[in-house]
Amino acid sequence: MNRQNISSGAIWEDAIGYSRAVRVGNVVEVAGTTAMDGDQVIGIGDAYEQTRFILQKIEKVLHEAGATLQQVVRTRIYVTDISQWEEVGRAHGEFFSTIKPAATMVQVSALIRPEQLVEIEATAILQTNS
């Protein structure tokens, strides 16, 4: 099976050894994505805005892999403050209300930068021709 590594060009990809997304066959795995735009955190102090920005980034990388949000079957959401679950969930629902992937949301003690409130991973499965 062919493997397609998709890069965002972030310096951390080479330093740490990861890809923004990887497509193998009809499966696309999107790495943990935060509200970083270059060196800047988008939506500081606002979990809703961070979640929207993250999901827009995920949608973009899915397109690069030949997938769409419609093909997402799983999301994993990591938050630094579970009391903000409704704001995070509201943003998630704006993207996935009709798709309804399996989803998990858990609180973690911290993300890489203290301004980051949310990190999201996604899995998409593309339809095969069989």
Q: How confident is the model at residue 11 (pLDDT cuts 50, 70, 90)?
A: confident
Q: In this model, does residue 128 exceed pLDDT 90?
A: no
Please give the full DSSP string across 56-93, using - where no structure is assigned.
HHHHHHHHHTT--GGGEEEEEEEES-GGGHHHHHHHHH
Q: Which pLDDT tens digit goes with each residue over 67-85?
A: 999 999 999 999 999 999 9
How many Å apart are CA 121 and CA 8, to the nearest integer?
Answer: 15
Query: What is the reported pLDDT for 130?
Result: 43
The structural domains of the chain, with segments of one domain joined by +, span 3-125
- Say what the pTM is: 0.94
User: pLDDT tens across 85-120, in order?
Assistant: 999 999 999 999 999 999 999 999 999 999 999 999
Q: Report the alpha-carbon angle 25-120-56, nearest 5.
A: 80
Q: Tell me the pLDDT tens digit for each residue of 44-59.
A: 999 999 999 999 999 9
Are 14 and 102 spatial neighbours (Cβ–Cβ below 8 Å)? no
How big is the chain by its Cα radius of gyration, in Å? 14
The domain defined by 3-125 folds into 60s Ribosomal Protein L30; Chain: A; (3.30.1330)
Maximum separation of any 2 CA atoms in the chain, in Å: 47
